[in-house]
């Protein structure tokens, strides 16, 4: 079974070494393909987003997304565990040397779009999800970030405990008078 998933990863050009196994398709983000996998080192299921770094524009978008997701840490935001290069190598601030980056993040069982396709939510579920969505948005906005692609497919839900998390920050922007999106220097370190 794991061999089938590993073959799938090869078809999509995933090159993360032997640490990740049992790849399954999850969907497409704004800037890349997303597969689920099992992280053998951390003993957990994760979502892995592959971002191609083919030109200056894709590099700029990837740097922006990485900087933003590392800035956010909240119960209603998908957690990012790490950002890796080819063969699962650590980027160590040297994203410019690679043609691809992998964002390893928290795995969520479904998204709001799939949940809504199954039928109408109960009033209790709608209230619970709306509360969590607004809570996450308040945090994002307090961090001076605008998501800019908030839709049911980017709102993820854990079916085990009904926790909602906002994800896919590929189109997000920082709104800060002291920040310029034209900066070319990558800042891959998590702020203190």
Q: What's 60's domain CATH number?
A: 3.30.200.20
| Side-chain-facing half-sphere of 37: CA atoms under 13 Å | 31
Question: What residues make up the domain containing 188?
Answer: 1-192
pLDDT digits 0-9 by tens, 75-87: 999 999 999 988 8
User: Does 149 qualify as catalytic in the annotation?
Assistant: yes
Q: What is the pTM of this model?
A: 0.84
pLDDT digits 0-9 by tens, 126-178: 999 999 999 999 999 999 999 999 999 999 999 999 999 999 998 999 997 67
Q: What are residue 24's DSSP bridge partners?
A: 36
Number of structural domains the chain divides into: 1
Q: Catalytic pick from 149, 161, 176, 184?
A: 149
Q: What are residue 49's DSSP bridge partners?
A: 34, 103
**Cβ-based neighbour number of residue 81 at 10 Å:** 15
């Amino acid at each position: 079974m794991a061999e089938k998933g590993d073959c799938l990863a090869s078809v999509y050009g995933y090159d993360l070494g032997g640490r990740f196994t049992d790849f399954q398709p999850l969907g497409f983000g704004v800037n890349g393909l997303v597969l689920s996998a099992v992280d053998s080192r951390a003993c957990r299921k994760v979502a892995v987003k592959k971002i191609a770094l083919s030109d200056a524009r894709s590099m700029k978008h990837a740097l922006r997304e990485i900087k933003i997701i590392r800035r956010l840490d909240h119960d209603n935001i998908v957690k990012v565990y790490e950002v890796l290069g080819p063969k699962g190598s650590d980027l160590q601030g040297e994203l410019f040397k690679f043609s691809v980056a992998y964002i390893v993040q928290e795995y969520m069982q479904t998204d709001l779009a799939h949940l809504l396709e199954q039928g109408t939510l109960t009033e209790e579920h709608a209230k619970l999800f709306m509360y969590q969505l607004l809570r996450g948005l308040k945090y994002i906005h307090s961090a001076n970030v605008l998501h800019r692609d908030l839709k049911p497919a980017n709102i993820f839900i854990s079916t085990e405990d009904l926790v909602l998390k906002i994800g896919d920050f590929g189109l997000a922007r920082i709104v800060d008078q002291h920040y310029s999106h034209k900066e070319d220097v990558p800042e891959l370190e998590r702020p203190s």
